[in-house]
Structure 1
Amino acid sequence: MSNKDITQLVRPNLLTLKAYSSARSEFKGLAEVLLDANESPWPTGRNRYPDPMSTDLRNALGRYKNFSPDQIVFGNGSDELVDQITRIFCNEGDAVHALPPTFGMYKVAAGIAGAEFRATTLAPDFTIPVEELKASWDERSKILWLCSPNNPSGNAMEAEVLEDLIRTFPGVVVLDEAYIDFVPELSFLPRLAEFPNLIITQTLSKGWGMAGIRLGAAFASPFIIRMLNTIKMPYNINVLTSAVALEALSKPEEMKAKVATLISERNRLEAALTKLDCVDYIFPSVTNFLLVRFKDSAAVYQYLLDNAIVVRNQAYQPNAENCLRITAGLKEENDRLLAALSDFE
């Protein structure tokens, strides 16, 4: 798919939309006295509006990812990016495709935009049923959401399958790599230039351990980034979020050490859970969580709640009957979980 084809996918009214011009974006050069934005003059570190383009943050992430900062845009969490991408490409009646069980915001964003949400259920082993998915495409297909590694199943999709879908889908493909810091070698980011219709989203919530600051990133072609910048709110990334993220990005080895610890704890949890009679099956995972099929998930879920331990009930999801999603926590948290489940026996 060419850049020209991508242009034709965008809602026509957005192609001529002029982005909001904020006070901070209307000048260039040295700024020693700022009297342009009706801000408080007392220098608290929070009195000035943030850079609307998050320039320092884009440069920092670009250096870490070895990727052009001009092809990065940030969202107030990946949720905001999901919403923006949907609004750029979908008119009412257009179709959005996804593969449940997967991240629920894809469906929510489609509903807000008035788009049809077409779900093709993953196979029982949570692989992609390629031919069934392709059979659901038509002239109204605008967005295909692919989550790899997938939430809640924890598996990574085969690279060859992803590439085939990116090349053949008649619209924009969004590859959600929220959990990619646990398997960075599987990222499609180094290959993004091969696919004009590909958008990659990542987050600092998982491997980086900063869910509380709400910071997601989208990587895409210059044209798609321009469209995202056109419709985004002018100050969507605040100065506190930026400061915390910049500090973390300056210390990537700390993140990598914590990721290694979580992988070790996930493996320890898997080994211990396998020995419990209440566990029926544990799905393979490359993330910081396990999808576990219990013999009676409802009883286990309530029992854990009664012991002040909260896991995520996934039993209502397709192909996830009797399944609970368990995040790898600190060693002492995982020990408490295992002790409780041993007593449940």
Structure 2
Amino acid sequence: MALNRVCSEEFSFPLLASRVSGIGSPPLWKPSPERGWARPVIGRDGDNDLSKSFSYVERRRSLWTDKAEEKMDMLWEDLNEELPPRRSQSLRNELSGDGGEKKSSLLIDESSAVAVGCGMKLTKQKKKKKSPNVLVLMRVLKKLLGPPSSYILRKSQPLRRNITRVHCKNLTTMGDSFIRPHLRQLAAYQPILPFEVLSAQLGRKPEDIVKLDANENPYGPPPEASPILSLLHSHTKVFEALGNMKFPYVYPDPQSRRLRDALAQDSGLEPEYILVGCGADELIDLIMRCVLDPGEKIVDCPPTFSMYVFDAAVNGAGVIKVPRNPDFSLNVDRIAEVVELEKPKCIFLTSPNNPDGSIISEKDLLKILDMPILVVLDEAYIEFSGVESRMQWVKKYENLIVLRTFSKRAGLAGLRVGYGAFPLSIIEYMWRAKQPYNVSVAGEVAALAALSNGKNLEDVRDALVRERERLFRLLKEVPFLNPYPSYSNFILCEVTSGMDAKKLKEDLAKMGVMVRHYNSQELKGYVRVSAGKPEHTDALMDCLKQFY
């Protein structure tokens, strides 16, 4: 069977077409008013079996890459469900041939991307009933491929073995054919579930759930009064600012001027070096869109924040993984080898690192900055480390970007406000590529209100650091947990003594306490616990004591 590449104005894709049977008359073609084309038709008037003819069309070479056999298995499974065993086997024989006779056109080309039966429709029969086999096959094909309204053969001729041209019109058969091929294989990011969903799943009220799985700041800004009066004042001010927003019906300032000026005062870095985003996540994606061509590579140092690998996949970039040392420190020598041999474009580093809470030493960071690679330093948790931010370094190092967020520091995770410090030679292009109104009026107002209460932000930070240290001491007393020292607002624990980490997470969830478990090879035997309020720690420890 001939496989040919077809080029038209709209698309380019190969066609596989043949008759099911090597016997009998060729199929009929329903005339088309346009250009003398015709639509393929199954069967003939007067025939009520499937053994005459129909076509197979390969939609696009990348449509079902490496999965055609799986799709054919799905077809057989569906036919088996639709038909009694004998009829199903009979139909399979008709399609596949039996007794060694070559009468099948279920062909799979080398790229394994065959779609079956696109563009087919049954011949109108006035008196005789349609074959049950035909009806079942069409129903199954429609489920696999969508409605048969997309393909028109270029010539109004009977279907022959060497048909090579197909024209695509009214492409409605499969919407995912419009999607970039690499995205069809992309696994969705698995985010943390919100309170409302957890509440429904666990059958508990949101206020009865202890949420220690997402490193959120539990102090702010909550709807209820905080027991810490200084925090109460800060968060009340945020709510007042949100309630008194001016011009919420007007698009926000695309340059976030007021917020960038406030961040300049807070960081000591001039506003022209600062770019604000809808969370630091938006800036991670923006950097990749501006820096990476499809196929170029980033360096990832697992275990670390999984958004780097996810965004790289979305942007069609490759990932070179340089695993961390057993103590979660960076393998700087291996990073240097990879940079020299693989020529990656950028490296993403988190300090403190998520999920273990370790920090990057100044010595290691300087070594990496000396390499020919763009360094993106994610400081989402820097406030809890006692280490000064490296935002000022972007004025000296042209290959350094530093990212920050209001999610942890100010308890504004739900309002999505992040920011970054960029060298002037890079930030110019970030401004060109970013969405114009990426930070909402509400997000900017809340961030400004939080920054205007610097003393309260410090109180929140100190409260969480104290609770982190208390949590670490208590977790060390649990016989099946090995906690790691942390410079952040969470603690990573190795689950030992034969206990299963995933089951521990699930059992705690049933008790209303949420901790994080990672379904990755590096962290399969670990759980991560966020530092919360003292009462959250007490609830966690009460639950853990039930296991020993």
Residue aligned with 2:249, SS: coil
Structure 1, unaligned runs of 5 or more: 1-42
**C-alpha separation in 2, matches of 1:44 and 1:99:** 44
State the match for 1:82 in structure 2.
284
Q: Are 2:427 and 1:220 equivalent residues in the alignment?
A: no
Counterpart residue identity of residue 74, structure 1: V
**C-alpha separation in 1, matches of 2:532 and 2:270:** 34
State the match for 2:495 in structure 1.
294
Counterpart residue identity of residue 439, structure 2: I
Alignment of 1:115-264 (within 5 A): 115-137=317-339, 138=341, 140-168=343-371, 170-264=372-466
Aligned 8 A contact 2:476 2:483 in 1: yes
Q: Are 2:478 and 1:276 equivalent residues in the alignment?
A: yes
**C-alpha separation in 2, matches of 1:314 and 1:112:** 21
Query: Once the 2 structures are TM-superposed, how far is the Cα of residue 305 of structure 1 from its aligned partner?
Result: 1.1
**C-alpha separation in 2, matches of 1:293 and 1:276:** 11
Aligned 8 A contact 2:256 2:439 in 1: yes
Counterpart residue identity of residue 302, structure 1: E
**C-alpha separation in 2, matches of 1:153 and 1:89:** 28
**C-alpha separation in 2, matches of 1:206 and 1:44:** 26
Question: What's the CA shift string for 1:104-138, capped at 9, x where partnerless?
Answer: 11111111221111111111100111111221124
**C-alpha separation in 1, matches of 2:259 and 2:246:** 20
State the match for 1:73 in structure 2.
275
Query: Once the 2 structures are TM-superposed, how far is the Cα of residue 192 of structure 1 from its aligned partner?
Result: 2.5
Aligned 8 A contact 1:315 1:324 in 2: no
Question: What's the CA shift string for 1:287-313, capped at 9, x where partnerless?
Answer: 000001112223321220110111100
Q: 1:85 to 1:305 in 2, by over 3 A?
A: same
Q: 1:81 to 1:184 in 2, by over 3 A?
A: farther
**C-alpha separation in 1, matches of 2:503 and 2:314:** 35
Counterpart residue identity of residue 504, structure 2: V
Residue aligned with 2:345, SS: strand
State the match for 1:331 in structure 2.
534
**C-alpha separation in 1, matches of 2:516 and 2:479:** 20
**C-alpha separation in 1, matches of 2:509 and 2:518:** 15
**C-alpha separation in 2, matches of 1:83 and 1:58:** 20
**C-alpha separation in 2, matches of 1:328 and 1:113:** 34
Q: Give TM-score scaled by structure 1 length.
A: 0.84
Query: Once the 2 structures are TM-superposed, how far is the Cα of residue 315 of structure 1 from its aligned partner?
Result: 5.7
State the match for 1:109 in structure 2.
311
Question: What's the CA shift string for 1:75-116, capped at 9, x where partnerless?
Answer: 111111011100111101111111011111111111122111
Q: 1:64 to 1:317 in 2, by over 3 A?
A: farther
Aligned 8 A contact 1:315 1:322 in 2: no
Query: Once the 2 structures are TM-superposed, how far is the Cα of residue 194 of structure 1 from its aligned partner?
Result: 1.9
Residue aligned with 2:255, SS: coil
Query: Once the 2 structures are TM-superposed, how far is the Cα of residue 317 of structure 1 from its aligned partner?
Result: 4.5
Q: CA RMSD in A?
A: 1.4
**C-alpha separation in 2, matches of 1:83 and 1:316:** 22
Aligned 8 A contact 2:293 2:317 in 1: yes
Aligned pair count reads 300
Q: Are 2:486 and 1:285 equivalent residues in the alignment?
A: yes
State the match for 1:312 in structure 2.
516
Aligned 8 A contact 1:291 1:324 in 2: yes
**C-alpha separation in 1, matches of 2:521 and 2:421:** 29
Aligned 8 A contact 1:293 1:321 in 2: no
Residue aligned with 2:513, SS: coil
Give the number of the structure whose residues are more often helix, by fraction: 1
Q: 1:126 to 1:108 in 2, by over 3 A?
A: same
Question: Whose Rg is larger?
Answer: 2
Q: 1:232 to 1:194 in 2, by over 3 A?
A: same
Residue aligned with 2:419, SS: strand
